[in-house]
């Protein structure tokens, strides 16, 4: 009887251990299934993020190709209008090296402090400026350019960068001057025509009115 009692106790212990092992195995399978599902979700999210990253990198590569190979000059300026970076178009147009102008006010404004102050004032009250500048190349030659400046704001509306895009309009300016000369000059005598006379008279009349001076004709 004592031996049978010991065997029954031993049997109950073995049965309890087997039941515990079955329960642990079942719980392990359940946890493994949940972990597999979670891992699958993480892999799916990671694949989506990688796809977004690849598209963003492709967009950056295309943007870099455009910036490097465009015929226009592009400058990235900080909040104080100092150069952060310049594209090869800037070097081709101005003759200045990109590394030599980093941290400086763009040489496109030349020595004209008034136009620079006008640009600063305009950008403080708005987000865009465009106009024509007479800039100076690295060799000292002056040339006309058309430029535009746009403000890049960060969180909270704080100005982080400015983007300046410009192009050399020397040929266009020469054509405009030539057309203006042809429109104001008689083709036979090469003297100023009636249009030139009207413009000069109006200009002198306004000047005399502003300064309170007489004008004679």
Cβ atoms of 70 and 89 within 8 Å: the answer is yes
Helices (H), the chain: 2-69, 88-94, 98-101, 113-125, 170-184, 194-211
**pLDDT at residue 49, as a whole number:** 92
User: Residue 77, Cβ neighbours under 10 Å: how many?
Assistant: 20
Please choose, from the candidates 146, 143, 125, the residue with its C-alpha nearest in 3D space to the C-alpha of residue 134.
143
**pLDDT at residue 138, as a whole number:** 87
* Burial tier of 9 (Cβ tally within 10 Å: 0-12, 13-18, 19+): exposed
DSSP 64-122: HHHHHH-SSEEEEE-TTS-EEEE-HHHHHHH---HHHHTTS--GGGTT-HHHHHHHHHH
**pLDDT at residue 13, as a whole number:** 87
Please choose, from the candidates 63, 72, 68, the residue with its C-alpha nearest in 3D space to the C-alpha of residue 146.
72
**pLDDT at residue 181, as a whole number:** 85
Which pTM value belongs to this model? 0.61
C-alpha to C-alpha distances, 108 to 4, 95, 142, nearest whole angstrom: 105, 11, 10
**pLDDT at residue 171, as a whole number:** 86
**pLDDT at residue 214, as a whole number:** 92
- How is residue 116 written in tokens? 């620079």
| 48 three-state secondary structure | helix
**pLDDT at residue 111, as a whole number:** 65
Residues of the chain with pLDDT under 50: none
**pLDDT at residue 182, as a whole number:** 84
Torsion of CA 80, 81, 85, 89, to 10 degrees: 180
């Amino acid at each position: 009887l004592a031996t049978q009692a010991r065997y029954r106790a031993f049997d109950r212990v073995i049965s309890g251990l087997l039941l515990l092992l079955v329960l642990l195995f079942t719980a392990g399978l359940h946890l493994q299934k949940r972990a597999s599902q979670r891992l699958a979700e993480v892999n799916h999210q990671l694949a989506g993020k990688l796809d977004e990253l690849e598209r963003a990198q492709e967009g950056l590569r295309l943007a870099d190709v455009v910036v490097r190979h465009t015929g226009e000059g592009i400058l990235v300026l900080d909040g104080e209008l100092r150069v952060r970076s310049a594209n090869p178009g800037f070097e081709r147009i101005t003759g200045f090296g990109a590394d030599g102008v980093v941290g400086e006010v763009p040489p496109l404004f030349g020595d004209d402090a008034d136009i620079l102050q006008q640009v600063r004032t305009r950008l403080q009250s708005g987000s865009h400026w465009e106009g024509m500048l007479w800039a100076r190349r690295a060799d000292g030659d002056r040339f006309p350019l058309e430029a535009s400046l746009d403000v890049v704001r960060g969180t909270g509306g704080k100005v982080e960068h400015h983007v300046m895009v410009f192009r050399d309009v020397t040929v266009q300016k020469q054509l405009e001057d030539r057309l203006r000369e042809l429109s104001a000059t008689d083709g036979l005598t090469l003297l100023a025509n009636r249009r030139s006379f009207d413009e000069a008279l109006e200009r002198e009349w306004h000047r005399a009115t502003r300064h309170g001076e007489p004008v004679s004709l």
